[in-house]
Chains A and B, each alone.
Chain A
Amino acid sequence: MSAATTPSTPGADGIFVAPLVVEYPYKRTVGTLLSRFFLSLQEGRLEGTRGSDGRVFFPPAEFDPVTGRALDEWVTLPETGTVTTWAWQSVPQPNQPLEHPFAWALITIDGTEVPMLHAVDAGDIGRIRTGSRVKVRWAAERSGGVRDIACFDLLEEAS
Chain B
Amino acid sequence: MARRDVAIVATAQRPNQVGSTLTSVELILPVINEVIEKLGIERQKIGFWCHGSCDYMSGQPFSFVAAVDAIGAWPPIIESHVEGDGALALYEAWVKIQTGECDVALVFSNGKTTSGPIDRILNLQADPYMVTPLWPGFDSLSALQARACLDSNVLTEADMAEVAARSYRDALNNPIAYAKENVTAEQLLARPYVTAPLRAHDCGVPVDGANAVVLAAGDAARGLAERPAWIRGIDHRIDTQRLGARSMTESFSTAVAAHKAGVGDDRIDVAELHAPYTHQEILLRRAMNLGEGTHINPSGGALVSNPAMAAGLARFAEAAESVFSGSADRVLAHCTSGPMLQQNLVCVMEGE
Contact = CB atoms under 8 A, between A and B. Distances in A.
Interface string B226-263: 00000000000000101111001000000000000000
A84 interface: yes
A4 interface: no
A13 B134 contact: no
B111 interface: no
A104 B131 CA distance: 12
Interface string A57-99: 0010000010000000000000000001111111001111100
B62 interface: no
A106 interface: yes
B143 interface: yes
Contact of A94 (B135, B194, B243): B135
Contacts of A94: 120, 135
Given A22-B59, A104-B143, A130-B151, A116 B130 contact: yes
B151 A117 contact: no
A30 B129 contact: yes
A119 B21 CA distance: 37
B59 A147 contact: no
Contacts of B243: 106, 117
A146 interface: yes
Contacts of A86: 144, 147
B197 A97 contact: no
B231 to A, nearest CB: 33
B198 A85 contact: no
Contacts of A125: 196
Contacts of B130: 59, 116-117, 146
A115 interface: yes
Interface string A124-146: 01000010000000000000011
User: Which range contains the number of A residues in contact with the other chain?
Assistant: 35 or more
A146 B135 CA distance: 12
B245 A87 contact: no
Given A13-B21, A117-B130, A146-B133, A85 B248 contact: yes
B135 A20 contact: no
B134 A85 contact: no
A115 B350 CA distance: 42
Contact of A93 (B59, B120, B145, B248): B120
A116 B136 CA distance: 13
Contact of A11 (B21, B146, B244): B21
Interface in B180-213: 193-198
B244 A106 contact: yes
A56 B13 CA distance: 49
Given A88-B143, A94-B120, A118-B134, 15 more contacts: A65-B245, A85-B148, A86-B144, A86-B147, A87-B146, A88-B193, A89-B195, A93-B120, A93-B137, A96-B135, A96-B136, A104-B144, A115-B244, A117-B244, A147-B133
Interface of B: 19, 21, 59-60, 117, 119-120, 128-131, 133-137, 140-141, 143-148, 151, 193-198, 240, 242-245, 248
23 contacts: A11-B21, A34-B129, A65-B240, A85-B145, A85-B248, A87-B147, A90-B193, A94-B135, A96-B136, A104-B143, A105-B144, A106-B144, A106-B243, A106-B248, A114-B244, A114-B245, A117-B130, A117-B134, A117-B136, A117-B243, A130-B147, A145-B129, A147-B134
